[in-house]
Amino acid sequence: MIDIDKIRRSADIIGESVEIQEMIALIGQVANTDISVLITGESGSGKEVVAKAIHKNSRRKFEKMITVNCAAIPAGIIESELFGHKKGSFTGASDARAGYFEAAHKGTIFLDEIGELPLETQAKLLRVIEQGEFMKVGDTNIMKTDVRIIAATNRELAEEVKKGNFRQDLYFRLKTINIEAVPLRDHINDIHLFIERFGLLFTAKNDIPFKGFSSEALTVMKRYAWPGNVRELKNVVESLLVMNRGERITDVMVAKQLKLDTFQASPNLPVLVDADADKVERELILKQLLFLRQDVNEIKQMMMGSRGVSVNEVQPSNPALFLPPVPSTSNAPGTLAHLEDGALHAIQDDVIGEITMSELEQEMIERALEKFRGNRRKTARALDISERTLYRKINDYGIQKKIKES
Ligand SMILES: Nc1ncnc2c1ncn2[C@@H]1O[C@H](COP(=O)(O)OP(=O)(O)OP(=O)(O)O)[C@@H](O)[C@H]1O
Ligand SMILES: [Mg+2]
């Protein structure tokens, strides 16, 4: 059994969404093996957090995890850094030096930004993964090491393979176990948990009172795309708390911080004009639908009033959200019920009872995919589900096959 909470605590992973739970479950499945893992994901999405969680839940947890940022080491010295060198093996090598693979013996090595590793070094890394062997620079003795390898990248490694920048054999070897750090926008409902944790930590450390974020502020933050993911969110939370010291954070403060230039501060239906065109269009349609519904309610009440039904009986408390029941006398074509069906229901009366939820869902997905010409990101946004969920449903319904066939 995988103990999700234990893994979450071991690496301070924030998030209770299905996406994060699935990610943690995967960490749990692979942590206790020695198999190499490739962590992919956008910048700031938590790849290093995942690597730490794997190490802390492995049998190597009491040994070291050495993190090597492959992008930060100049290509000329990376081999000597990783594998060490023999005394006198190159100018300046006045002493022998142990590399990271030697130092991490029995522990874990985390090769961050693995896409930046030079091709020759990639071949040597493959040998370590496959045989646990390497040679120091300038040495001919084979060294043995017992190291678990975790790699991470925000590059599309398959593309790098095509371009000839990354070895295909190493790529295949690494991608067998691939954990994806989920972009923040795909588990945006976790955002309040991050805000709370980052807000409390930062204010406590800097002796600032923490009065929280208003719900409107949260709404604005949920609608933002967070290209820099959790790292960006952390910076934004901290900046907001410094810029508005001791105050409760409002939507206006957030909009200013995120540089959202046009912001309509309606608490119920904020429309951010900086959002992408599809999102704005969707929100406008939603707004129009609500107005339409309001109009229909008014017409209906007028008609009911004229037929002797008390207006107070059906007066909605919030006309935009409330729909009074259809009076039983009005079911003939051309009457109020008909008007209501045509104007308010997305599904025609005659198919009720004939169509299942999953058929409906499948059709929604297929038609949305068609509308957005197969663009899954746009489709997921329009349907208001995560891309991951969309992928799963595409597979479940076999839509994938149909797309390919067409
Ligand atoms: N699920 C999470 N729970 C808690 N903190 C998180 C989570 N995801 C990301 N963070 C925090 O966000 C910041 C960025 O995370 P991390 O360094 O792991 O991202 P990354 O994917 O490695 O980014 P990069 O590609 O830029 O290296 C860190 O401060 C990290 O602690
Ligand atoms: Mg990182």
For the stretch 212-221, pLDDT in tens is 999 999 999 9
Q: 291: pLDDT confidence band, cut at 50, 70 and 90? A: low
Cα 231 to ligand 1 centre (Å): 6
Which pTM was predicted?
A: 0.67
Cα 112 to ligand 2 centre (Å): 6
Q: Which residues of 138-147 are buried (b: 16+ CB within 10 A; e: fewer)?
A: ebeeebebeb
* Under 8 Å between Cβ of 210 and 203: yes
Atom of ligand 1 nearest to the CA of 13: 3
Is the sign of the CA dihedral 394, 395, 396, 398 positive or negative? Answer: positive
Considering the four listed CATH numbers 1.10.246, 1.10.10, 1.10.1740, 1.10.287, the one that applies to the domain covering 357-405 is 1.10.10
Cα 188 to ligand 1 centre (Å): 15
Q: Half-sphere exposure of 386 toward its Cβ, with a 13 Å CA cutoff?
A: 16
Supply the pLDDT for residue 261: 53
Atom of ligand 1 nearest to the CA of 233: 12
Which ligand is closest to the CA of 181, given by its number? 1
Residue 96 to residue 42: CA distance in whole angstroms = 38
Q: What crossing angle do the helices spanning 357-371 and 376-383 adopt, rounded to 10°?
A: 130
The pLDDT tens digits for 240-266 are 999 999 999 999 999 999 988 544 433
Task: Identify the residue with better confidence: 127 or 265.
Answer: 127
Lowest-confidence pick of 31-45, 159-173, 307-321: 307-321
Q: Where are the domain boundaries for CATH 1.10.10 in the chain?
A: 357-405
Atom of ligand 1 nearest to the CA of 230: 12
Supply the pLDDT for residue 385: 85
Cα 239 to ligand 2 centre (Å): 21
Is the sign of the CA dihedral 198, 204, 206, 211 positive or negative? Answer: positive
- Residue 148 in 3-state DSSP? strand
Which CATH architecture describes the domain 185-272? Answer: Orthogonal Bundle (1.10)
Structural tokens at position 379: 């489709």
The pLDDT tens digits for 19-65 are 999 999 999 999 999 999 999 999 999 999 999 999 999 999 999 99
Instruction: For 4-182, give the CATH class.
Output: alpha beta
Atom of ligand 1 nearest to the CA of 12: 4
Residue 54 to residue 231: CA distance in whole angstroms = 20
The pLDDT tens digits for 104-114 are 999 999 999 99
Radius of gyration of the chain (CA): 28
Of 19, 49, 157, the residue with max ligand 1 atoms within 8 A of its CB, to mutate for a pocket test, comes to 49
CA angle 137, 138, 143 (to 5 degrees): 60
Q: Where are the domain boundaries for CATH 1.10.8.60 in the chain?
A: 185-272
φ/ψ bin of 214: left (φ > 0), alpha (ψ from -120 to 50), beta (otherwise): beta
Which ligand is closest to the CA of 41, given by its number? 1
Residue 380 to residue 297: CA distance in whole angstroms = 31
Residue nearest to atom 28 of ligand 1 (CA): 231
Residue nearest to atom 25 of ligand 1 (CA): 43
Residue 394 to residue 361: CA distance in whole angstroms = 11
Q: Where are the domain boundaries for CATH 3.40.50.300 in the chain?
A: 4-182
Which ligand is closest to the CA of 238, given by its number? 1
Cα 1 to ligand 2 centre (Å): 29
AA identity, residue 102:
E
Asked whether residue 125 carries a pLDDT value surpassing 70, the answer given is yes
Cα 9 to ligand 1 centre (Å): 15
- Residue 263 in 3-state DSSP? strand
Atom of ligand 1 nearest to the CA of 50: 18
- Please give all residues whose beta carbon lies within 6 A of any atom in ligand 1, as ranges: 12-15, 41, 43-49, 154, 181, 230-231, 234
Cα 42 to ligand 1 centre (Å): 10
Residue 406 to residue 394: CA distance in whole angstroms = 15
Supply the pLDDT for residue 288: 57
Which ligand is closest to the CA of 111, given by its number? 2
Structural tokens at position 134: 């390497």
What separation in angstroms does the CA of 273 have from each of 36, 227, 265, 278, 381? 44, 17, 11, 11, 16
Atom of ligand 1 nearest to the CA of 181: 21
